[in-house]
Chain A
Amino acid sequence: MFEAILVMAFGAVVLGAALGYAAVRFRVEGDPLVEKIDAILPQTQCGQCGFPGCKPYAQAIAKGEAEINQCPPGGEEGIHKLADLLGREFKPLSAEHGVEKPKSVALIDEQVCIGCTLCIQACPVDAIVGAAKQMHTVVAPLCTGCELCLPPCPVNCITMEPIGESVETWKWKYPVFKINPAQREAK
């Protein structure tokens, strides 16, 4: 009887020590759920969701403080992915946070730019280069199309240009079979 208790107690101590060690050794830094949500978000850092960036929005979603349909750049597909990840119901994009737009990049009209650096300060991904009283320009491959540089510009010289398709980025379309090609030809 006593031996049995001893054996069990010993087992409990060993396992407890092992678990305790594992808890310290394999500790996960940060919140894995936030990371997963953040990976789905488009990283536009536009703030249209009402949070100052994609990460804060991801944290809010993880805490259950925000809905999953507040990200216009992520679009319907992003909402579907978030719904799948979190086991929540799909909701259409909330209208108050904006609408899904084709992906665009900012373009500075360099003739009009006065070199005030306000857009440089506004850009969340440091995609605008320039200096005070010098012309500014957007590094297009880095621009996320967040539109945050538009409001601070005192001379309204920034426009959003939609990214057109090129031969390299062109996508094969979903195969659609024409129901009645014979009729169409007859016309």
Chain B
Amino acid sequence: MSALQRLFKFHGGVKPAYNKEASTGLPIAVAPASTLLVIPLHQSIGGMPRPLVKAGERVLKGQRIGGADGNASSAVHASTSGTVVAVEMRLMPHTSGLAALCVVIEPDGRDEWMERHPFDYRSASPTQTRDYLRDAGVVGLGGAVFPTHLKLNPGKQGKLDTLVLNGAECEPFITCDDVLMRERAETILKGAVIMRELLAAGQVLIGIEDNKPEAIAAMEIAARAVNQAAGDSAMKVVAVPTRYPAGGAKQLIRVLTGIEVPHGKRSTDYGVQCFNVGTAYAVYEAIALGQPLLSRIVTVAGNVSGARNYEVLFGTSMRDLIALCDPLPDSDRVIMGGPMMGLLMPSDDVPVVKATNCVLVGSKKLFPPPPPEMPCIRCGECAKACPSDLQPFEMYWFSRARIFGKAQEYNLFDCIECGCCAYVCPSHIPLVDYYRFAKSEIWAREIEKEAADVARERYEFRLLREEREKQEKAAKLAAKTAAGREKAAAALAEATKPAATPEEDAKKALIAAALERAKAQKEQVHPENVSNLTSEQQAEVDAIEARRAEIREMAKPHLRQDD
């Protein structure tokens, strides 16, 4: 079909036992919904979605139950129709064993969809499309659950050279992408076509590890059909050598394009973006069918006799899922993900979430406890195995000694926690545990520092405000007293003024004229009750006047004394 794709190599990597055959024998089955679906609101990286439903409410399949909090967040939906029993704290599928807010739905068994409308992304703006995908809850299904809408952005140039579809699936036991590609290759590629259009990408490279010949064949057939329909050869299926962790985004980009994305840069800066094949499938369902992300393919494997892939509604209990696969009696733990990067679950009664690509049942026989940790002998095997070109032993020493600044200088945060270093370590040091410890400590410190900076700023502002208020008060008081003094000074000046200016003379003349007018008016008005008096009345008035004069005379000496 096309010239052989030139492949590159990434540094390091390991070849663990793959154990993939057990779960690929049977086609994908639909897992029945649990009697209660526990849907955590926070299932992806980013802000915690707000609950949109209350206990007692009836919800339809696909109805939004958690609204995205800000742009860097992703919505959550009801996986089936039923009644909301509670919105409460439930145990999370997380190693911490802590609880978080979940919507608990009791399915009614009718599986009744809400109204679904395909989204016309061609006539919508890129922002509208991204908002739609955010509200459809589409996140990366490779395991990191990064919101897809944030990644569907071609960056500054407005176009990309290459869209990489990640079907490598390098981790042992996990086969969910493998069977998805085998059975639903056309749908995946329809999603890839949409993504390619949104990203304005030149070509689409579908990287699949060469230990999945069926998936490669199925995808090649589908890619040929898409290429024929489009009249180009943009879709290319590329078999990549099987080596863990070929499915890491940076590693796959390196293998397929030769581009090594440096520290602190994004792959879009180099014209490449990478998505999991399951994500492409989810994008197609969301945009072309109007169905939000409600379920995913989950591999159930490990210490079970009937390992298989299931299409599982989010919120289904892992216990119910494992029960479908006949777990062996000596099973003692549940791991979400694979044996290399997976997280140990606090119990088997935790829900399947968007990040659950595999439910791995473990036992002592299958995963024997690691031999005792021995001192580091500085052999450097870990550095040889590191696919991120880091120096794991340096990071280990500094993490172990809690010298986090130094660990960060060795680019601890570029570590993808793939576990290659711990896998090859002859001293059986749980290196990744040390990195996880150091990373979470550094994160906590970062958050603390930010809080301290805010507190400092607010405290200083408060001091400033108090100072300002004090000054304002003092100024007001001073103004008040100054005004009083001024008044007094003005009165004094008036009294002691020797000569009037011509202006003031004019004023005085005006005042005098006004007084004159008032006097004249007063004279014109006579009190009515003293005119036309009878002689008797007149005599009475005269007597009163005489008495008054007498009293005045009598009071005179007293007044003088008072003076």
Q: A38-B456, A165-B96, A181-B369 are in contact. Are A171 and B441 (CB under 8 A)?
A: yes
A167 contacts B100, C-beta separation under 8 Å: yes
A170 contacts B454, C-beta separation under 8 Å: no
B453 contacts A43, C-beta separation under 8 Å: yes
Hey, which chain B residues are within 8 Å of A69, CB to CB? Answer: none
Hey, which chain B residues are within 8 Å of A126, CB to CB? Answer: 458, 461-462
Q: Residue-by-residue, is B456-478 near A (CB-CB < 8 Å gives 1, otherwise 0)?
A: 10111111000000000000000
Beta-carbon nearest neighbor of B454 in chain A: A142
For the complex formed, measure the closest distance between the CB of A103 and the CB atoms of chain B, giving whole angstroms.
Answer: 9
A167 contacts B94, C-beta separation under 8 Å: yes
For the complex formed, measure the closest distance between the CB of A116 and the CB atoms of chain B, giving whole angstroms.
Answer: 19
For the complex formed, measure the closest distance between the CB of A112 and the CB atoms of chain B, giving whole angstroms.
Answer: 26
Q: Residue-by-residue, is A36-48 near B (CB-CB < 8 Å gives 1, otherwise 0)?
A: 0010011111000
Beta-carbon nearest neighbor of B428 in chain A: A177
Hey, which chain B residues are within 8 Å of A142, CB to CB? Answer: 454-455, 458
Q: What bracket does the count of chain B residues touching chain A fall in?
A: 35 or more
For the complex formed, measure the closest distance between the CB of B283 and the CB atoms of chain A, giving whole angstroms.
Answer: 27
Interface residues of A in 35-83 (CB under 8 A from B): 38, 41-45, 53-55
Query: In the docked arrangement, what's the CA distance between A170 and B98, Å?
Result: 8
A144 contacts B455, C-beta separation under 8 Å: yes
Q: A167-B94, A171-B441 are in contact. Are A177 and B372 (CB under 8 A)?
A: yes
Q: A45-B455, A125-B455, A167-B98 are in contact. Are A173 and B437 (CB under 8 A)?
A: yes
Q: At the interface, yes or no: A183 with Cβ under 8 Å from chain B? A: no
Hey, which chain B residues are within 8 Å of A53, CB to CB? Answer: 459, 463
For the complex formed, measure the closest distance between the CB of A102 and the CB atoms of chain B, giving whole angstroms.
Answer: 13
Query: In the docked arrangement, what's the CA distance between A38 and B433, Å?
Result: 33
Hey, which chain A residues are within 8 Å of B113, CB to CB? Answer: none
Beta-carbon nearest neighbor of A74 in chain B: B452
Query: In the docked arrangement, what's the CA distance between A45 and B448, Å?
Result: 15
B96 contacts A175, C-beta separation under 8 Å: no
Q: A125-B455, A167-B100 are in contact. Are A175 and B430 (CB under 8 A)?
A: yes
Hey, which chain B residues are within 8 Å of A54, CB to CB? Answer: 456, 459
Interface residues of B in 365-383 (CB under 8 A from A): 369, 372-373
Query: In the docked arrangement, what's the CA distance between A45 and B455, Å?
Result: 8
Query: In the docked arrangement, what's the CA distance between A41 and B451, Å?
Result: 12
Q: At the interface, yes or no: A169 with Cβ under 8 Å from chain B? A: yes
Q: At the interface, yes or no: B397 with Cβ under 8 Å from chain A? A: no
Partner-A contacts on B (CB < 8 A): 42, 48, 92, 94-96, 98, 100, 369, 372-373, 430, 433-434, 436-437, 439-441, 443-444, 447-448, 451-456, 458-463
A-B contacts besides A42-B452, A142-B455, 9 pairs, CB < 8 Å? A125-B455, A166-B98, A167-B96, A167-B100, A168-B42, A171-B443, A172-B437, A172-B440, A175-B373
Partner-B contacts on A (CB < 8 A): 38, 41-45, 53-55, 124-127, 141-142, 144, 165-175, 177, 179, 181
Q: Would you mind naming 26 contact pairs between A and B with Cβ atoms under 8 Å apart?
A: A38-B456, A42-B452, A43-B451, A43-B452, A43-B455, A43-B456, A45-B455, A53-B459, A53-B463, A124-B459, A125-B455, A125-B459, A126-B458, A126-B462, A127-B458, A166-B98, A167-B96, A167-B100, A168-B48, A172-B436, A172-B437, A175-B434, A175-B437, A177-B372, A177-B373, A181-B369
